[in-house]
Structure 1
Amino acid sequence: MNANTQSSGIGTRARNAALASGRGFVLSLVSLPEAILCYTLSVISIALIPVLGLGLLTTPWALTRVRSFADRRRILAAKWCGIRIPSAYRPLPEGGKPWARTYAMLQDPATWRDLRWLLVDMTAGYLTALMPAALVLYAVEGFALAAGLWRVYADTTGDTYWYAFVPVSGQASALCAAALAAVFLVLGYFYTPRLLTTHFRLTRAVLAPSQGELAERVRILTETRRDAVDTSAAELRRIERDLHDGAQARLVAMGMDLGTIEMLLDKDPEKARQLLTQARQSSADALAELRDLVRGIHPPVLAERGLGDAVRALALRMPLATEVTVELDGRADAPVESAAYFAVSELLTNAVKHANADRIWVDLHHTDGMLRITVTDNGRGGAAIGAGSGLAGVERRLGTFDGVLAVSSPAGGPTMVTMELPCELS
Structure 2
Amino acid sequence: MVKETWWQEHTRTPWRGFKLGLLAFPSFFVAVWFGSVLSMVTGIIGILLFPSAALLVRNMTNVYRTLIGRWTGVPIERPYLPEPPGEQGFMGLLRRFVALISDPATWRDYLWLMIDPIVVTFTAALPGWLILYGVWGYCLATFAGGMIGHYGGSDWYGWVHVDPGYDRDTERIVSTLVVATLCIAVGFLTGPKMLAVYGRWGRSLLGPTEKSRLALRVQHLTETRSEAVDASAAELRRIERDLHDGAQARLVAMGMSLGAIEHLLDKDPERARLLLAETRASSAKALRELRDLVRGIHPPVLADRGVGDAVKALALDHPLNVEVTVAVPGRPEPPVESAAYFAVSEILTNAAKHSGAGRVWVDVRHEGGMLRIAVTDDGNGGATLDGGTGLRGIERRIGTFDGILALSSPVGGPTTVTLELPCALSSPKTSLS
* TM-score using structure 2 length: 0.57
How is 1:171-186 mapped onto 2 (pairs within 5 angstroms)?
171-186=170-185
- 1:45–1:58 contact (8 Å) kept in structure 2: yes
1:208 Cα offset (Å) = 0.4
How is 1:3-18 mapped onto 2 (pairs within 5 angstroms)?
13=6, 15-18=8-11
Q: State yes or no: 1:23 paired with 2:76.
A: no
1:118 Cα offset (Å) = 0.7
- 2:20–2:120 contact (8 Å) kept in structure 1: no
- 1:113–1:206 contact (8 Å) kept in structure 2: yes
What secondary structure sits across from 1:128 in the alignment? coil
The 1-side partners of 2:55 and 2:255 are apart by 69
Seen in structure 2, the aligned counterparts of structure 1 residues 110 and 400 have a Cα distance that, compared at 3 Å, is: farther
Q: State yes or no: 1:151 paired with 2:204.
A: no
The 2-side partners of 1:223 and 1:91 are apart by 12
1:241 Cα offset (Å) = 6.3
Q: State yes or no: 1:43 paired with 2:96.
A: no
Superposed CA RMSD: 4.6
- 1:339–1:398 contact (8 Å) kept in structure 2: yes
Seen in structure 2, the aligned counterparts of structure 1 residues 102 and 223 have a Cα distance that, compared at 3 Å, is: closer
- 1:132–1:196 contact (8 Å) kept in structure 2: no
Match of 1:56 in 2: 47
The 2-side partners of 1:337 and 1:15 are apart by 39
* Partner amino acid, structure 1, of 2:215: E
The 1-side partners of 2:34 and 2:227 are apart by 40
* Partner amino acid, structure 1, of 2:208: P
Seen in structure 2, the aligned counterparts of structure 1 residues 91 and 26 have a Cα distance that, compared at 3 Å, is: same
Seen in structure 2, the aligned counterparts of structure 1 residues 95 and 425 have a Cα distance that, compared at 3 Å, is: farther
Match of 1:263 in 2: 262
* Partner amino acid, structure 2, of 1:162: W
1:234 Cα offset (Å) = 5.8
Seen in structure 2, the aligned counterparts of structure 1 residues 398 and 140 have a Cα distance that, compared at 3 Å, is: same
Query: Quick one: which of 382, 385, 391 aligns to 1:332?
Result: 385
Per-residue Cα deviation, 1:84-125 (whole angstroms, up to 9, x for no partner): 111132344446343333222213222112111111212212
Q: How many residues align?
A: 308
- 1:38–1:66 contact (8 Å) kept in structure 2: yes
Match of 1:322 in 2: none
The 1-side partners of 2:267 and 2:172 are apart by 126
Per-residue Cα deviation, 1:43-71 (whole angstroms, up to 9, x for no partner): 211221222x0012211211111111111
* Partner amino acid, structure 2, of 1:183: L
The range that moved more, 207-216 or 250-259, is 250-259
What secondary structure sits across from 1:162 in the alignment? strand
Seen in structure 2, the aligned counterparts of structure 1 residues 125 and 256 have a Cα distance that, compared at 3 Å, is: same
Match of 2:158 in 1: 164
Seen in structure 2, the aligned counterparts of structure 1 residues 223 and 143 have a Cα distance that, compared at 3 Å, is: same
* Partner amino acid, structure 1, of 2:88: G
Gaps of 5+ in 1: 1-10, 307-328, 341-395, 403-420
* Partner amino acid, structure 1, of 2:28: I
- 2:79–2:209 contact (8 Å) kept in structure 1: no
Seen in structure 2, the aligned counterparts of structure 1 residues 264 and 123 have a Cα distance that, compared at 3 Å, is: same
1:164 Cα offset (Å) = 1.8
What secondary structure sits across from 2:125 in the alignment? helix
Match of 1:254 in 2: 253
* TM-score using structure 1 length: 0.58
The 2-side partners of 1:101 and 1:423 are apart by 32
Match of 1:384 in 2: none
- 2:65–2:75 contact (8 Å) kept in structure 1: yes
- 2:228–2:400 contact (8 Å) kept in structure 1: no
Match of 1:82 in 2: 73
What secondary structure sits across from 2:151 in the alignment? helix
Over the matched positions of the two proteins, sequence identity in percent amounts to 25
Match of 1:121 in 2: 116
